[in-house]
Chain A
């Protein structure tokens, strides 16, 4: 049992989506996440174990490598694609309640900013870490964040900004969330954001990379 979970984790890490994909060269012709997850379920391994010890474990390794600068965005994207193949098999178990997310995160790019790539990459890591991500888009007002928090009851919200001129809009959102939903953690990130800025506006977490933000969620919100 352990072997197949390790194989799933390795395939996520290496971006081996399915047998038909030649990438990566060292795993060409072998089963990928798609086939291995199916086989693991057929052999009776609990879906929750496949998720945590296979899929999440693999994505976690990618996150560590990305944080260390040892892999780059294309590696992350292909790993996330591989992970999604496994998630496809687990979908019915999420619906039935046999598999549970660690919690919910509402994520969006703040008002004044249309940038969506950074937010997308962070979402991939959160999903790959076992979180249910509700992406509410770009140019999101404080009011819209509040409405999303009221509707989805997340454990945390993630705010993204690309520009110094737009990151200032994180402050009113953080203030409103802390006033109305003090239990919801505020996680912020983006090119101009710094720890001192996060401290100044009262955010709970700043991370220069997605893995750091995921580690915060796992430690403080699940």
Chain B
């Protein structure tokens, strides 16, 4: 079976084909580090490791109200300060990944939303697509391959975080509920408008992969009740749209989201990715709780990879794959977030061997 057939069976049809899916994310500097350890220079790392999924580059349209890329407004030796199309300022590292520091936000009140940012999101604006011709080219190249090709994008909660920051957003759910509902409504419609445009003008992919960080190690950012009130209706609307094209909806979320799982399934998410193990989540328990109504991707504890110890890696991967196989869980082999440079190339190659050996149904 091709990558497309395997992933379609797992994520869209919730079936267990001949093997478990295989995919991964890598930190920006991992490939550079691995080149020092013997990885051929400048290879496409996804092709090199024969991974199943391809994000169609250029499909990440601009979701900020003002459709511009982030602008650098200041810098020092190590960091840059950027402002985004919501007027929010962040400090980031120059040459390495990491969570940015929130410096300031313009969108602090419903009045600012209405005066400066709402209107821009009410219609289709082609400035949201930086290079439509390149996107079409990337789409064609992806779809002629055997890979499972997805459009990828941020979604509601993640967009709110970038627009107003965690503190304002989380407080506003209680103190300005009308604003948050209006924001989610307008932004959701805009996402759907742009996805619809891409599907019409560029083409239909194999799936749509949306990024939504809703948790940290200890808990979800919001309670199940707040999720149900403020996020669920918009996830549901997006899911209904994606399903109207007979496509699967894959959602990424960091952190502990186990308490939200029943609602996420009800919203219509087809595949859930990351499933951080150190947040106390276990893919088998989550699958049992949902009755295989959703496919899972991830949950392989990154700390086992970072140990660079084959025995520790085996202890993490082999029993999990055995249980997944036994219980016929639709599953894609994936760490529980992404691979940093502290994981040796040899360690990752050994993980792939374990997938090959134990990752069959």
Contacts and interface: CB of A to CB of B under 8 A. Distances in A.
Contact of B174 (A78, A165, A166): A78
Most buried by B among A15, A77, A139, A209: A77
A208 interface: yes
Give chain B's interface residue range (CB within 8 Å of chain A): 20 to 34
A101 interface: no
Contacts of B38: none
Interface residues of A, number: 33
A209 B256 CA distance: 14
Interface stretch (B136-144, B163-171, B241-249, B261-269): B163-171
Most buried by B among A81, A117, A166: A117
Contacts of B170: 73-74, 77
Interface stretch (A53-61, A108-116, A125-133): A108-116
Given A114-B79, A117-B102, A78 B171 contact: yes
A112 B93 CA distance: 9
A62 B249 CA distance: 37
Contacts of B303: 164
A208 B218 contact: yes
B157 to A, nearest CB: 12
Nearest to B103: A116
Interface in B18-44: none
Interface string A85-107: 00000000000000000000000
Given A114-B92, A164-B342, A138 B101 contact: yes
B312 to A, nearest CB: 14
Given A117-B167, A120-B167, A23 B175 contact: yes
A44 interface: no
B91 interface: yes
A175 B343 CA distance: 27
Given A73-B222, A191-B216, A113 B174 contact: no
12 contacts: A21-B175, A73-B219, A73-B222, A74-B171, A74-B173, A74-B222, A114-B98, A116-B101, A162-B98, A165-B342, A166-B98, A208-B217
Interface of B: 78-79, 91-93, 98-102, 166-167, 170-171, 173-175, 216-223, 226, 278, 303, 306, 340, 342
Nearest 7 CB-CB pairings of A with B: A114-B101, A74-B170, A191-B217, A72-B223, A115-B99, A23-B174, A77-B171
